């Protein structure tokens, strides 16, 4: 209801700063479809303004992680320095977990991810951890302490990790659930939400 009211306001006031602020807020929150709708309702002069161009740039990034978008192949190294190609995960359901050793909420969520991994690892499901660490020893220690057996990768560039940056992810924990055709089918699942989604997914397979 509130979204409809906002859209009606933008339609009636396509040049007002509040309208562009609504579009900017939606884009910053990763709400691609609603942000795009708001942006398209703005007057063209607003769309082509400096703020409008910033919103358009955010939308271009947001489009990469929208539901149904395909995850492109990428290569990053595992903790031992061996390159891992995402192409090798094609044909599986993959939970891509963006985390770091210094992220307390991420570490608190790791036991839940481990439960999901152990329950479904024999049903064409796996986890790929993409670490936003910049210290390899802290990264390795966290993997060992949290007993995470799945594939881990990182370019050790911290918050400037190339994969997370591609998706516009600069705050963690964040996640993407990918189907066998490398399409995004869910985002930011944690705790019971992750369990429920996987139970639903694999109960029908």
Phi, psi values for residue 71, rounded to 5°: -85, 120
35 and 105: one domain? Answer: no
User: Are residue 91 and residue 171 in the same domain, yes or no?
Assistant: yes
**Which helix (H) or strand (E) element contains residue 10?**
helix 2-12
pTM of the prediction?
Answer: 0.87
* Average pLDDT of the residues of the chain: 94
Task: Give the pLDDT score at 82.
Answer: 98
E strands of 31-121, at which residues? Answer: 75-77, 83-85, 93-99
Residues 103 and 125 in one domain: yes
Given the structure tokens 């985390």, which residue do they identify? 99
Which domain, by its residues, includes 59? 2-65
Return the sign of the alpha-carbon dihedral for residues 172, 177, 181, 185: negative
58 & 83 share domain: no
Dist. CA 163–CA 86, nearest whole Å: 11
Q: Are residues 91 and 36 in the same domain?
A: no
Q: Are residues 145 and 59 in the same domain?
A: no
Cα–Cα distance, 41 to 8 (Å, whole number): 9
Overall domain count for the chain = 2
Same domain, 14 and 60: yes
Whether residues 40 and 97 share a domain: the answer is no
- 128 part of a folded domain: yes
**Looking at residue 196, what is its pLDDT?**
95
Residues in the chain: 205
Q: In angstroms, rounded to a whole number, what is the distance separating the alpha carbons of residues 164 and 154?
A: 10
Residues 173 and 103: their CA atoms lie apart, in Å, by 8
* Domain-located, residue 100: yes
Last residue of a domain, one of 12, 34, 65: 65
Domain assignment present for residue 70? The answer is no
C-alpha distances (whole Å) from 171 to each of 31, 92, 134 are: 15, 26, 15
Q: Are residues 123 and 193 in the same domain?
A: yes
Tens of pLDDT, residues 3-60: 889 999 999 999 999 999 999 998 877 778 899 999 999 999 999 999 999 999 989 9
How many C-beta neighbours within 10 Å does residue 137 have? 10
19 and 105 both lie in a single domain? no
Q: Residue 1: pLDDT above 70?
A: no
Residue 161: give its domain's CATH number. 3.40.30.10
Is residue 44 one of the residues assigned to a domain?
A: yes
pLDDT band at 204 (very low <50, low <70, confident <90, very high): low
Cα–chain center distance at 202: 22
Which of 47, 65, 83 corresponds to the end of one domain? 65
User: Residue 112 domain-assigned?
Assistant: yes
Domain boundary among 13, 32, 65: 65
| Same-domain status, 190 and 171 | yes
**Is position 111 within any domain?**
yes
40 and 104 together in one domain = no
């Amino acid at each position: 209801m509130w979204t409809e009211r906002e859209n009606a306001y933008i339609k009636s006031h396509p040049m007002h700063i509040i309208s562009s602020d609504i579009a900017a807020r939606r884009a910053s929150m990763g709400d691609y479809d609603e942000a795009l709708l708001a942006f398209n309702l703005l007057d063209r002069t607003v769309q082509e303004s400096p703020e409008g161009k910033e919103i358009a740039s955010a939308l271009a990034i947001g489009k990469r992680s929208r539901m149904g978008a395909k995850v492109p192949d990428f290569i990053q190294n595992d903790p031992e320095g061996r390159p891992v190609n995402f192409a090798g995960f094609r044909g599986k359901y993959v939970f891509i977990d963006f985390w770091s050793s210094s992220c307390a909420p991420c570490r608190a969520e790791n036991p839940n991810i481990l439960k999901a991994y152990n329950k479904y690892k024999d049903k064409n499901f796996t986890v790929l951890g993409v670490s936003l660490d910049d210290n390899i020893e802290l990264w390795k220690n966290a993997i060992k302490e949290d007993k995470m057996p799945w594939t881990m990768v990182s370019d050790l560039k911290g918050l400037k990790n190339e994969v997370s940056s591609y998706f516009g992810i600069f705050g963690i924990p964040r996640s993407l659930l990918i189907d066998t055709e490398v399409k995004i089918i869910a985002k930011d699942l944690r705790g019971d939400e992750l369990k429920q989604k996987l139970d639903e997914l694999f109960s029908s397979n």
